[in-house]
A and B are shown apart, each in its own frame.
Chain A
Amino acid sequence: MGRSVNISTEIPPPLSMVNRLRIPKARQKELTEMFERAVERLKGDEEAGNLLQRIDNSSAWPETTSVEDGKKRKIATAAR
């Protein structure tokens, strides 16, 4: 009660737990496919996230030109 219990259960949980849920086989298959798609999608998101992080941290990118600089350059080009 409000205290910890040392438990030696099987980790990961046995697949027999699936049977106890009594979900029809066809629906189980759909859910498994759904799960696999979710894993792939999250992996993709993670890779995209890592890529963005790498881009953000990259020093290879040139300093962006400020609006003010842009205007000055345009004026300079027109004068020429």
Chain B
Amino acid sequence: MPPQRVDRNAVFLNIPYDTEFQSLYLAYLVGLYPLGHEPYIASGIPGGKRRLSRILSLIRFCRYSIHDLSRVELSPHGLGTPRFNMPLELGMTITWAEINEESHMWFVMESTPRRLDQSTSDLAGTDPNVHFGTVEGVFSELRNAFVAKDAPPVPRMMEAYRIVESEVELILTNAGTRNLYAASVFKEICLLALKAARYTAGTGI
């Protein structure tokens, strides 16, 4: 495998792409910028590369990854099968991080304490960041994971969230989609999140 540049500010988000998760997804995008980090998601990369290859490229490129396992549950649609994508990608990441200890660090997010012990007992000894399924919880846990000098307080992050959230509908309409995870929508939300981070930090837009 050819060597790839690692971006020390890049964070790969391994999250479910469903409607129930939208507010937490927005929270991750809005919360990472004021901590000096850039979010990356698999659907944010245009092009026809195979999905798993894209994900592996992202894991290699990003210095950090966040694996939100809070919605690892039985799918309410179709055959009601468990959702394995997030654990699969976490497994890929753990392998990569074991081989390249210096170039990658991963975090696990959960909504409930001790849920991880039941769903993925092999991760025993790993302390997940528990966000309790709330936007404030995501901000709080991002601040705990990335202890950054001058990190904004959670109320400031909430202010940024409200600004970005209020414009989501317009972005979706412009893109002609209801999919918040679509590549073009993701990019535009990121731009607003970046502007919100600068605005709430008091350094202009």
Q: Which residues does A use to contact B, with CB under 8 Å?
A: 1-13, 15, 17-18, 20-23, 27-28, 31-32, 34-36, 38-39, 41-42
Checking B36, B108, B147, B163 against A1 with a beta-carbon cut-off of 8 angstroms, the contacting residue is: B108
Given contacts A2-B108, A5-B146, A7-B148, contact A12 B128 (CB under 8 A): no
B13 at the interface (CB under 8 A from A): no
- Complex contacts, B188 vs chain A, CB 8 Å: 23, 27, 31
> By DSSP majority rule, is chain B's interface helix, strand, loop, or mixed?
mixed
- Complex contacts, B190 vs chain A, CB 8 Å: 21
With both beta carbons as reference points, the residue of chain B lying nearest to A22 in the complex is identified as: B187
Checking B150, B162, B195 against A32 with a beta-carbon cut-off of 8 angstroms, the contacting residue is: B195
Interface size class on chain B is: 35 or more
- Complex contacts, B118 vs chain A, CB 8 Å: none
Q: Which residues does B use to contact A, with CB under 8 Å?
A: 8-9, 33-38, 64, 97, 105-108, 126-129, 144-152, 159, 162-164, 166-167, 170, 187-188, 190-192, 194-199, 201, 203, 205
Say yes or no: A2 contacts B129, CB within 8 Å: yes
Say yes or no: B147 contacts A18, CB within 8 Å: no
Given contacts A12-B34, A21-B190, A42-B163, contact A35 B195 (CB under 8 A): yes
Cα A6 to Cα B144 in complex, Å, equals 9
Checking A7, A20, A31 against B38 with a beta-carbon cut-off of 8 angstroms, the contacting residue is: A20
